[in-house]
């Protein structure tokens, strides 16, 4: 029984990974072509719990729905507050 439970847990983790990967791929495709803001916004909402914007440092902190955080830099000239 314990092996069956472990196998189910592994299978569920694989399914979640596949869903997240699919959403990331869709987000990438949506961002490359003509920008559909509604689609990109919807995909970001599915992937992220929150985004913290650090204006003075031009930094974004992405909190993923599946756990963990990623720091990203958005360095667009004219967007930084000095």
Residue 82: pLDDT over 50 = no
pLDDT above 90 covers a percentage of the chain that reads: 4
Residue 12 within a domain: yes
User: What is the mean pLDDT of the segment spanning 36-60?
Assistant: 86
Mean pLDDT of the chain: 75
Q: Is residue 48 part of a domain?
A: yes
Give the domain extent around 42. Answer: 2-73
Domain count for the chain, please give it: 1
Residue 6 lies in a domain: yes
Is 30 inside a domain boundary? yes
* Cβ atoms 31, 40 nearer than 8 A: yes
Residues 6+ apart with CB under 8 A from 37: none
Q: Is residue 79 part of a domain?
A: no
62 neighbors 73 (Cβ within 8 angstroms): no
């Amino acid at each position: 029984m314990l092996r069956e439970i472990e196998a189910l847990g592994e299978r569920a983790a694989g399914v979640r990974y596949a869903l997240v990967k699919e959403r990331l791929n869709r987000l990438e495709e949506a961002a490359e072509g003509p920008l559909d803001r509604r689609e990109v916004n919807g995909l970001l909402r599915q992937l992220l719990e929150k985004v913290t914007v650090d204006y003075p440092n031009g930094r974004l902190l992405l909190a993923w729905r599946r756990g963990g955080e990623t720091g990203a830099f958005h360095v667009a000239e004219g967007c930084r507050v000095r």
